[in-house]
Structure 1
């Protein structure tokens, strides 16, 4: 039997959030289709752009083990796995190729946006308007924006697929320990304000001897900075996203400045608190589909809650969270399964 070729647009060794989203998408599709597929990567790591932030078209002379050409003549399904780069220059060649391959179905799962809502190019509208395209967004605002540009509204706001990235079989850890996912002001395109960084460092120092916690860095730059601060808390880092997902399941609470760090924590069944600057539209709009399971607090409030909440209270929150995750996953699974049955009947048989 022919193995299915799935072209997924994501990034490797750049943004761990992208990798959490991709893992959630893979878990979803493998739950529907089984595990006998070939996963082909369209790698949106900015190191593969012609000129990073200026000319974000993909180079064709790179040597990493990912696709240099969309090659839709052998691709059975195209998947844009979330993040704001599901349209625009980094994926323009996929859209252009889809114009000449109208029978290839497309899943846009967990589409995101930056501060500004996207204005789609005519060739993007032509592709996304097709009946064999399924779209979910991670914010109601983006769904409304896209539906206003399409002839037939189809974008549905649902929790980001990173919510399904972790192994659901992990049990509850009775030990009350907090994971604090930190960030810095120095990582290009991935920074937060130094005022928030300093507030975080202050609370980490105050927590010494009061809260049992680990400092978690998703970027090597952040790990280097926080490792050199002389804090008594252990510092955790890995280049491999699976290591983070396994680590997250060991905590009773996660505090995170990173949106997809918090969502990956939720995927591990751990109650998570998001730290966000007041004007961070991206974080606040993505938080909405999670109802009350992804609260946003100030640094001081978050550390106060972590200190005051008991292990038993965390356990009860985790049970409610896991029920919400199961229901959300089954909802998305049902929608995607129906789409595949309509447009890929040979795969759903």
Structure 2
């Protein structure tokens, strides 16, 4: 099954994903494509705890997919999409990222560029499909310049879809998933915690509460200051999934991309993961319980920690 990850919360995002799913299904068959929101009947689904049920339905598909395509745009990638990317990548599933964003990203004005704001996204992609330019003006010209501009954008999106479908049909088979070494009881002195800070926090960024622990080894990302961010991103991924526990700072307008990717990977592999989130903005949708984060994040973590003292306690549990 091919899983299509996309931002759910606006009609134009869902429409773009639906077009991609439609064209892919013409090549593979509808039974081989899963489109969240559409295939979970999100608008009409009734459940005791609807958000959790939607999470469970999506996770069921993630555990048996053979490929994942994600639509990723802009400087704030959707945290639910990033969680799904991390989940698939940790299981050895090929990941195709498609974007029409014309911006590159770097941590300094003259630093090395990446396609996505977090180098970890670039590093986890099996392939990146990027169509950053508007399509040429149509002939004959449109009735107004606005109609012409809309047509050029629609054509750009269509080219991205076509390129994505072609690439999806050539993706390799899944590789062996990541396996975690067993943790023996009584080895707390060797506990390693990978701490992912929020890029929205001022330097020196970190996860509050970790400095209080003296009996654990704390590691963190290197990709944001490295002269080779892609190599460093692969190192961060290996370090995180080789740790005993992961704790992420989930603060920001959305859960930061790296934090969401690691939450997905931890959920897929059974590695304990917690999110530090001292303050929430709740979202509300018809029939759904209030969510303090994207439901893929809210239900993907083992714990949401509100105070530094809770981080200290959880990392040493």
| TM-score normalised by length of structure 1 | 0.37
The structure whose RCO (Cα within 8 Å, separation 6+) is larger is 2
Structure showing the higher strand proportion among its residues: 1
